[in-house]
Amino acid sequence: MQRIVSPSMLSADFGNLERDTKMIDGSAAQWLHIDVMDGVFVPNISFGFPVMKPVRRATRKVLDVHLMIVEPERYVERFVEAGADIVTVHCEAAADIRGCLRSIRRLGVRAGVSIKPATPVGVLDGVLEDADLVLLMSVEPGFGGQKYIPSSTAKIRDLRRMIDLAGTGTILEVDGGISAANAAEVFAAGADAIVAGSAVFGAENPVAEIEKLLNIR
């Protein structure tokens, strides 16, 4: 499968959100990652629907929305209305994860399930059938700019094996602490897609950095 890079808009300049979105729109990145935090599921608050609007207006690329919120089933429909192409919910946050994924699919977009670093990949057994994407967290969700947790690489390998065995074609995306220094390791372990926030927006040339992440060996 072709590699995917999904720059996290959490690290964009919110005072120039349209400019930064257009910059990513003009890059080789296929997706834009949107981190929504509610201050309850994670100890931080990011943004919600009104902030997604200018992003949606400024790009036709895939909006990859990562919900770090409690009771995500209450809000999935509004995120689809706001322009999400992929809605990812945490399995630790949803009371009925399979039901939640199915309702996302019924809304006509791709459904993702995310797991935190301490959650074993085994919880996804029997869930992959309902998931177009798994988002494996390689940092504790809540903040950009953290260090990649090294044990994530073994989890990526295990999950790759599980997905291939299940034959569901579920996309494996990894999120947190990924840069040109470790992207090769993450892809080699079996990731299809990577999220990169600070590595992209902190680079002198974000567009070139995306190119580098896509082509790294």
Position of minimal CB gap to Zn ion: 66
What are the Cα distances from residue 159, in Å, to 37, 120, 176, 186?
25, 10, 17, 12
* Cβ-proximal residues to 112 (8 Å cutoff; 6+ apart), any chain: 64, 66, 86, 87, 88, 89, 131, 132, 133, 134, 135, 173
Based on the shown chain and the rule CB under 5 A, indicate whether residue 175 belongs to the binding site for Zn ion: yes
Contacts of ligand DX5 in 183-202 (CB under 6 A): 195-199
Under rule CB under 6 A, residue 145 binds ligand DX5: yes
Q: Which residues are catalytic?
A: 35, 175
Shortest Cβ 217–Zn ion spacing (Å)? 25
Q: Extract the tokens encoding 76.
A: 């999935």
Q: Report the b/e string of 88-98 with b at 16+ CB within 10 A.
A: bbbbbbbeebb
Residue 116 sits in the site that holds Zn ion (CB under 5 A): no
Which amino acid, residue 151? S
Number of residues binding to ligand DX5, judged by CB under 6 A: 22
127 binds, among Zn ion, ligand DX5, none (CB under 5 to 8 A by kind): none
Among 24, 84, 139, 171, binds ligand DX5 (CB under 6 A): 139
Applying CB under 6 A, the residues found at the interface with ligand DX5 are 8, 10-11, 33, 35, 66, 139, 141-146, 175-178, 195-199
